[in-house]
Chain A
Amino acid sequence: MQSAVLKGRSLWDDARRRLLRNHAAVTSMVVLALLVVAAAVGPYLAPFPFDQINKNDVWMGPLTGGHLLGSDALGRDLLARLLIGLRVSLAVGVVATFVSLVIGVLWGATAGYIGGRVDEVMMRIVDILYSLPFIFFVILLMVTFGRNFILMFLAIGAVEWLTMARIVRGQTLSLKQREFIEAARAAGLERNAIVIRHIVPNLLGPVVVYVTLTIPGVILAESFLSFLGLGVQEPLTSLGSLISKGAQDMELAPWLLIFPSIVMVVTLMAFNFIGDGLRDAIDPKDR
């Protein structure tokens, strides 16, 4: 039976259909949603505050003394710390990715749209920055200016925008040739307005895919810094610093290493599967 109103299938309907058929991606979305909820409300529900030192509860194993996942050298509850660590890691991931998104999209769209000399210079800058081992500059920044939370967001975001700029530029170059841009130009729209109102919205597909793949990259970078002792400072924590602490005490208290590692891996996997799923869904030829 045909419904009364025939509705055309848009690109996004198609993409959604393909995405929902991808079991790994759908499962990952559910898992990620649970992780986000846990990070958002979990710390308020946990039986202990994450920074509360309990002198009598030192090195408690999982499921003892009311500590579901055990406690650390200072008797702090691992579950509470894990929830806070997850929150910090996710927050770093989202905020730094947003920084890279803004810089990368504007840079790439401008270079691609204006073209010519400007494009040449702008992309050459990207090329040069690209060949630098940037994580070392982030380390240098953290060493010289101290371990500042905001600085870390900015530094990691400033590293990650390069790929975004390249992807966006490539897309812009091909969009520029399309009729609707021609039409906008013919209608007398200014260049900035064309970039912001017509180019940027049409970049959405590849950008969304790249964002979901950048977030785990950023989480990884932050955890890497924290693992080396250059990231988040005590008593605040992140997945990376929890793993770092756990690795130091693993002979005595393996749970301090194992639980944060599991959460870290599950989080990274969820983002990667969603990113891959989105890519297959939005751009089916690029598998």
Chain B
Amino acid sequence: MLRFLFRRLLIAIPTMFIVVTLAFFMMRAAPGSPFVNERHLSPEVEANVMAKYGMNRPLAVQYATYVGGVLHGDLGPSLKYKDKTVLKIISEGFPHSLLIGGLAMTIAAIVGVSLGVVGALRQNGPADYTAMGVAVLGVCIPTFVTAPLLVLLFASMLGVLPTGGWPTASQPLSSAWRYFVMPVAVLSLPQIAIISRLTRAGMIEVLRSNYVRTARAKGLPEHSVVLRHALRGAILPLVSYLGPATAGVITGSLVVERIFSLPGIGRAFVASALQRDYTVVMGVVILYAGLILFLNLVADVLYAALDPRVRLS
């Protein structure tokens, strides 16, 4: 087990290094200085600004400084917000993004697995078709379509949910939840679609397997066969979907946080991208890459721990 973890880390570390390097050189290869968009600076002032951010030094030195900073958790200053560091922007937004993303993943797992199991048990029945219909819609309707349409329907026309924003800290949970309904629904729908498909396929296969037949032959009640025996095997493939699911939720959060004006990292990322605030964009890309790599690692370890057939060599 330890050796396996070690090997995976050996792959993850160079990958992370490639991310940092790619991000750094892409940014530096950009034509023009990052400050050209601001008021016209005289050459002297611009040289001063460049010197302040250390951009007048040789590229190799800058690169070494940046990598050194990243290793210490220092992602540099924001180029647009003079009083903020990239780390501050990220740490302000992250709890909000984590809450919304975590809720979306939890709901997607519960609803997706239930739909998949029902679909597999009642194959080609009305429940199956409904579940698969939801799955198809979830895959084909992108978040940037569902989000505005839901706002139009529930906020503008029916007026039952707020158009967006984040509840204040003093707001009681009984009214604060309304702010989360639409963002979480939009983020989880595509994941529900994929999870229910995976579960259905896994369940159908497992229900035909020998150990399930044995369980039935022992005279176990149906619910016990399905929930205790079959489900365990059927949701195993879901574990390896953890990494891609995280990537999907993160990508979706860019759209969702923008539309519902949630104060998360996604919105900060898009705003920085549009303002060409390179350091923030780089910092967030590095964070996301790290997060996805980490969850992929977790998924691999979990998979190996749950499935005795997988040998960690």
Which of A143, A254, A257, A269 gathers most chain B CB within 10 Å?
A143
Give the complex CA separation of A269 and B133 in angstroms: 12
A223 contacts chain B at the CB level, 8 A cutoff: yes
On whether A145 and B31 interact (CB within 8 A), knowing A133-B289, A251-B156, the answer reads yes
Residue of A at shortest CB range from B145?
A: A261
Determine whether B259 belongs to the interface, using a CB cutoff of 8 Å to chain A: yes
Pair A132/B251 contact, Cβ less than 8 Å: no
B45 to chain A, nearest CB (A): 23
The segment from A49-57, A134-142, A169-177, A186-194 found at the interface with B is: A134-142
**In this assembly, does A228 line the interface, its C-beta being within 8 Å of a C-beta of chain B?**
yes
Residue B98 lies at the interface, judged by CB distance under 8 Å to chain A: no
Q: A142 vs B273: C-alpha distance in the bound complex, in angstroms?
A: 9
Interface residues of A in 115-166 (CB under 8 A from B): 127-128, 131-133, 135-137, 139-146
Contacts of A228 in B (CB 8 A): 254-255, 258, 270, 273-274
Chain A residues with CB under 8 A of B147: 247
Q: Which residues of B contact A133 (CB under 8 A)?
A: 247, 250-251, 285, 288-289, 292
A285 CB, min distance to chain B CBs, angstroms: 12
Contact A240 B144 (CB under 8 A): yes
Kindly specify which of B15-23, B47-55, B177-185, B302-310 makes contact with the partner chain. Answer: B15-23
Given contacts A131-B293, A144-B278, A257-B148, contact A272 B140 (CB under 8 A): yes
CA gap between A254 and B148 in the complex, in Å: 10
Q: In whole Å, how far is A156's beta carbon from the nearest beta carbon of chain B?
A: 14
Range of interface residues on chain B? Answer: 35 or more
Q: Which residues of A contact B250 (CB under 8 A)?
A: 133
Question: Can you name the residue of chain A whose Cβ is closest to the Cβ of B30?
Answer: A144
Q: Are A131 and B292 in contact (CB under 8 A)?
A: yes
Query: CB of A48 within 8 A of chain B?
Result: no
Contacting residues, chain A, for B149 (C-beta < 8 A): 257-258, 261
CB of A159, distance to nearest CB on chain B (Å): 12
Given A133-B250, A137-B22, A265-B140, do A224 and B255 touch, yes or no (CB 8 Å)?
Answer: yes
Are A272 and B156 in contact, with the CB atoms below 8 A? no
B273 contacts A230, C-beta separation under 8 Å: yes
Residues of chain A within 8 A (CB-CB) of B282 are 140
Given contacts A135-B251, A137-B22, A224-B255, contact A145 B30 (CB under 8 A): yes
Does B88 interact with chain A (Cβ within 8 Å)? no
Contact A137 B26, CB 8 Å, known A145-B31, A223-B144 = yes
Q: How far is the CA of A257 from the CA of B27 in the complex (A)?
A: 34
Bound CA span A259–B123, Å: 35
B residues near A254, Cβ cutoff 8 Å: 152
Interchain nearest-CB distance for A240 vs B (Å) = 7
Q: How many residues of A contact B (CB 8 A)?
A: 40
Complex CA–CA separation, A183 to B63 (angstroms): 53
Are A250 and B151 within 8 A (Cβ)? yes
Interface residues of B in 266-296 (CB under 8 A from A): 270, 273-274, 276, 278, 281-282, 284-285, 288-289, 292-293, 296
What chain B residues lie within 8 Å of A146 (beta carbons)? Answer: 31
In the bound complex, how far is the Cα of B140 from the Cα of A17, in angstroms? Answer: 26
**Residue among A141, A144, A251, A269 with max Cβ neighbours from chain B (10 Å):** A144
Q: Mark A95-132, 1 if CB is under 8 A from B, else 0.
A: 00000000000000000000000000000000110011
Considering only CB atoms, which chain A residue lies closest to B296 in the complex?
A: A131
CA distance A127 to B297 in the complex (A): 13
Q: Does A71 touch B at the CB level, under 8 Å?
A: no
Within A228-287, which residues are at the interface with B (CB < 8 Å)? 228-230, 240, 243-244, 246-247, 250-251, 254, 257-258, 261, 264-265, 268-269, 272
Counting chain B CB atoms within 10 Å of each CB, the highest count among A135, A139, A140 belongs to A140
Inter-subunit contact A140/B255 (CB<8 Å)? no
Residue in chain B with minimal CB distance to A262: B145
Contact of B255 with A127 in the complex, beta carbons under 8 Å: no
B residues bordering A, Cβ < 8 Å? 11, 14-15, 18-19, 22-23, 26-27, 29-31, 136, 139-142, 144-145, 147-149, 151-152, 156, 243, 247, 250-251, 254-255, 258-259, 270, 273-274, 276, 278, 281-282, 284-285, 288-289, 292-293, 296
The 8 closest A-B pairs by CB, nearest first: A144-B30, A247-B148, A227-B144, A268-B140, A269-B140, A136-B285, A261-B145, A143-B273
Could you list 16 examples of A-B contacts with CB < 8 Å? Answer: A131-B15, A142-B273, A143-B30, A143-B281, A144-B276, A144-B278, A146-B31, A230-B273, A243-B144, A243-B148, A250-B152, A257-B149, A261-B145, A261-B148, A268-B140, A268-B142
Which A residues are within 8 Å of any B CB, using their own CB? Answer: 127-128, 131-133, 135-137, 139-146, 216, 220, 223-224, 227-230, 240, 243-244, 246-247, 250-251, 254, 257-258, 261, 264-265, 268-269, 272
Having A247-B259, A251-B156, A269-B140, one finds 11 other A-B pairs with CB under 8 Å, namely A131-B243, A136-B285, A137-B26, A140-B27, A142-B273, A143-B281, A228-B255, A250-B148, A251-B152, A254-B152, A265-B140
